[in-house]
Structure 1
Amino acid sequence: MNNKLKNVLVNSGYAIFSNLLSMFVSTLVILVLPKLIGVESYGYWQLYLFYVSYVGFFHFGWIDGIYLKYGGSHFEDLDERKFYSQFVMYILFQSVIAFLIFIYGLVYTTDSDKQFIFEQLGITLLLTNVRFFIIYILQTTNRIKQSSAITILDRFLYAVLLIGFILVDINHYQMMIYVDVLARFMSLLYGLYLCRSILCKNLSYFKLDYFEVIDNIKVGSNLMLSNVASLLIIGTVRLGIERQWDIATFGKVSLTLSISNLMMIFINAVGIVIFPMLKRLERGKLSILYTSLRNVLMPFMLGILLLYYPLKLVLVNWLPHYMESIKYMVLIFPMAIYEGKMSLLINTYLKALRMEKYILRVNIRTVCLSLVLTLLTTVVFKNLDLAIVSIVVLLAFRCIVAEQAVARELEIHVKSDIYFEVLLTMVFIVAGWFLPPMIAIILYIVCYGVYLWMKKASLHATVRNLKQSLS
């Protein structure tokens, strides 16, 4: 086995293991907690997570710039003084923002539950974004084992503490937030220990360097804005649901989204490993690797849709109070196909090709479409079914438009594959929503089998192409 392939497999192993733990914790939170804390409390917990998903906006591209500028570098080659100085300034900047959010919760929020959420959000922002700085340094230099260790510690502590509180019958959502904050703090300390040679210096080592800050933000702002826009694609719809319906409905829809997104944990793990590798790969091999990865990913993701039916059977019996939300899962379960391809392949390649501006443009277009569809489905028609369906429509639109750009850049042809994938997605949704389960399963299996038969030659060539790309 050549060294490149071995490194990819080893790094993927570490990343996937850490994300397996994340998946276990996510499963605990998604499937067990709704049964214990009630629909309304679960809604507030989901609201906290919803806000937390946007804390990355407040580094304004600073660490994204570092990630893009130094991607593929070796840890030992990093300028210690430069990175330490950036770290100190970054902490001060994040502290100011966290304080403002904390004050906002105290002064401007009247609902006591939402006030508590904003107060904790300020603390979470500081801990999370500082930890992001550390994780990005490790991922940038391909130290996947160490960055995975931070995630493992975070999720392990969270799971242990959460299970402990559940066993002693302390199961309100405030406790869950406290546990989340504590786990983030402890994993941050561990991250500082891992990067102590760079980030733990005497203050005399500090050098004020506004030019580096501005350059990092300038380089990373497009990627940061595109990431925020990416969150807003679904976030706009979720916010529309939260505003138009009650917190319980918001929690139920969020539960369905969380279940549908579990597979993304694995996809993101592999994407983390691939980016530094692409930065070091010869340009001529990028198209071969893209086609090969696509031929592996898409049949797998389309096959995963079949898990919906046994999963639905389990959930209906396990969470009877969420029966209404579980029925919507068939409408948004295919989101994993487009989110997975976007995360693992398209975004990773666009970043490696330094096409961050295009990522931003595509995401902004999709956010605009999201605003229109959200207004139509939640305000004009007030139809929850249409609002949920719009999520998959939006993600498919973004994925298709972005992949066309990658295909043009790499000079490859993917249109026929896209058509088949959209067709299979439509078959799954329409059959699952309108037909009896057994007929829907048979119909999808037949269509999926035809798809695999048509991809037979491509699948046979994939192993050979992967070996060629990584040799």
Structure 2
Amino acid sequence: MGKGIIVILIANILNMVFGLATGFILPKYLSVETYAIIKTFQLYLSFVGLFHMGYADGMYLRYGGKNLKDLNKKSLKTTIFTMNIFQMIVSIVMVIASIKLNKLLLILFSLDIFGYNMVDFYKRMYQAIGQFKSYSRVINIVTALNFVSNMMLLLIIKSDNAYLYVLGYVIVDYFMLFVLTIKFSKIFNSIKICIFEFNELISNIKEGILLLFGNFSSIILTSMDRWFTKILLTTIDFAQYSFAVSIENFLNIAITPVTITFYNYLCRIQSKTRIIQLRNYINIFSACLMTSFFPVKFILEIYLDKYYQSLNVITFLFASQFFYIIIKSIYVNLYKSRLQQRRYFIQVVIVIMVGFLLNVLLYKITPCKESFSVGTFISAMIWYLICILDVKDIRPLAKELLFVIFEVCIFIVSAFIFNSIIGFVVYIITTLIMIFIFMRETAIIMLNFIFESIKNKGWKR
């Protein structure tokens, strides 16, 4: 698990460099309308997983915790080929429908269904079988190529045409799919027969449909605020809110290594004590990760003044991530590893309904973009509480709950009251005090582990 986290974290550092450059350069130099169209396309892409109807999720559950060398190569090739044909048909049907609607953005989205979902399918496979180096490589290539595409259009061609940028994303996905197809064809070189297996299609969809709905419901929950902003507010509001979300997504650079490796790990362990210990690590990790908000605030103060009005939104989105990190790292992975997809799905549906009502109520009270970020924050808290109450065998002690509550309050106060530099100092000092009071033993274990890892040069232990 340690190796997996480090491998993906190193890969995500490169991802962060390109992501930061793209995240700050595009909104700086593109028109607000162009930026809004690009973010609308990316919002559409967050729902593209629906079009495989749970097939990729079924594969993910089937291969979770296994090794590539132990898999039946013929069966695996059939699984991949069936997904290919299935998604190709879906993509063609959607392109035809989009052409009839005469919506260029929908046409580009429909074209990308096949490429995007197949690349995601391979990434999920790498996650499930613990091939974290391969997973990281795919992420790095896609991120780097998207960056190059964006910078060529911005700096060389000097285009403000949103559809050219969107087309760049589509081309990159298909290029990555081509590379992955060649790579896997070498693995299956001895297996000559490729067939579309209808029973394979139905079996994977049947096994993965509830997990798909759960993941889809989670996407609805986390993207609901953007849909409300897009429908009810102005284009400028949507662009500013989307910018805030893109900044929030930088947290995935640190979060993704944990959420991905934990699934493979939790498939193998059953110790409740160990799971609780992992959650305590995540609590401290989340508290430390919140410090990344203050450099973002500093950049907005001196560089991106036209998006400075998104700062309050960013604050609440960052605060909500404190809960989401714990939920996604521990509880969601636990539901998946225990094959409790139905419970996960029902839980997320409840949170969605609560979140929808919160967004409507808060918008009625104050019709502004900040209302939706507050709704997201409260929804995250409610989901966290539901997870605690639902998974009875690993319920946290009072000191763990107090640590989480105090940390979130300290972050919000530091973010709103002080400027970026003073807020950074205040948050770090108070966080260290909270760790000393509530999480001292866990912090000592984490520090010892880090020092031993450095001493033993690269996780030899």
What are the within-5 Å matches in structure 2 for residues 278-293 of structure 1?
278-281=266-269, 283-284=270-271, 287-293=272-278
Which residue of structure 2 aligns with residue 460 of structure 1? Answer: 444
Between stretches 265-274 and 180-189, larger displacement belongs to 265-274
Q: What secondary structure is seen at the aligned counterpart in 1 of 2:267?
A: helix
What are the within-5 Å matches in structure 2 for residues 4-403 of structure 1?
8-108=1-101, 115-172=103-160, 173-197=162-186, 204-206=193-195, 208-210=197-199, 212-281=200-269, 283-284=270-271, 287-378=272-363, 381-403=366-388
- Partner Cα distance (1:134, 1:57) in 2: 16
Contact 2:58/2:209 (8 A) holds in 1? yes
Contact 1:104/1:118 (8 A) holds in 2? no
- Per the TM alignment, residue 291 of structure 1 is displaced from its structure 2 partner at its CA by 2.7
Say which of 382, 395, 416 aligns to 1:433. Answer: 416
Contact 1:232/1:367 (8 A) holds in 2? yes
Between stretches 424-433 and 437-446, larger displacement belongs to 437-446
What does the per-residue CA deviation read over 1:173-229, in whole Å, with 9 as the maximum and x for residues that have no partner? 22221221121111111211222256678774426342x322222221121111110
- Partner Cα distance (1:273, 1:52) in 2: 24
The percent identity for this pair of structures is: 18
Q: What secondary structure is seen at the aligned counterpart in 2 of 1:261?
A: helix
Which residue of structure 2 aligns with residue 112 of structure 1? Answer: none
Change (3 A) 1:310 1:136: closer
Using the size of structure 1 for normalisation, the TM-score is 0.87
Contact 2:54/2:212 (8 A) holds in 1? yes
What is the count of residue pairs matched by the alignment? 451
Change (3 A) 1:353 1:320: same
- Partner Cα distance (1:370, 1:28) in 2: 32
1:449 aligns with 2:442: no
What does the per-residue CA deviation read over 1:358-407, in whole Å, with 9 as the maximum and x for residues that have no partner? 2212211111112112222335642332222111111222123224434x
- Per the TM alignment, residue 59 of structure 1 is displaced from its structure 2 partner at its CA by 1.2
- Partner Cα distance (2:419, 2:68) in 1: 56
Which residue of structure 1 aligns with residue 457 of structure 2? Answer: none
Q: CA RMSD in A?
A: 2.7
Q: What secondary structure is seen at the aligned counterpart in 1 of 2:250?
A: coil
- Per the TM alignment, residue 262 of structure 1 is displaced from its structure 2 partner at its CA by 0.8
- Per the TM alignment, residue 426 of structure 1 is displaced from its structure 2 partner at its CA by 2.8
- Per the TM alignment, residue 94 of structure 1 is displaced from its structure 2 partner at its CA by 1.6
Aligned partner letter, 1:240 = F
Change (3 A) 1:220 1:380: same
Aligned partner letter, 2:52 = H
Change (3 A) 1:238 1:458: same
Which residue of structure 2 aligns with residue 4 of structure 1? Answer: none
Contact 2:18/2:143 (8 A) holds in 1? yes
- Partner Cα distance (1:39, 1:200) in 2: 49
- Partner Cα distance (2:267, 2:15) in 1: 27
- Gapped runs of 5+ residues in structure 1? 1-7, 110-114
Change (3 A) 1:158 1:436: closer
Between stretches 219-228 and 313-322, larger displacement belongs to 313-322
- Per the TM alignment, residue 247 of structure 1 is displaced from its structure 2 partner at its CA by 2.1
Between stretches 294-303 and 193-202, larger displacement belongs to 193-202
- Partner Cα distance (2:157, 2:361) in 1: 43
Contact 1:65/1:218 (8 A) holds in 2? yes
- Partner Cα distance (2:308, 2:31) in 1: 14
Using the size of structure 2 for normalisation, the TM-score is 0.89
Contact 1:359/1:402 (8 A) holds in 2? no
- Gapped runs of 5+ residues in structure 2? 453-459
Change (3 A) 1:166 1:201: farther
- Per the TM alignment, residue 430 of structure 1 is displaced from its structure 2 partner at its CA by 4.4
Aligned partner letter, 1:426 = C
What does the per-residue CA deviation read over 1:430-458, in whole Å, with 9 as the maximum and x for residues that have no partner? 45335676775666455423311211133
Aligned partner letter, 2:75 = K
- Per the TM alignment, residue 169 of structure 1 is displaced from its structure 2 partner at its CA by 4.1
Contact 1:192/1:199 (8 A) holds in 2? no
- Partner Cα distance (2:45, 2:196) in 1: 31
Change (3 A) 1:420 1:14: closer
Change (3 A) 1:449 1:19: closer
Contact 1:240/1:378 (8 A) holds in 2? no
- Partner Cα distance (1:433, 1:50) in 2: 28
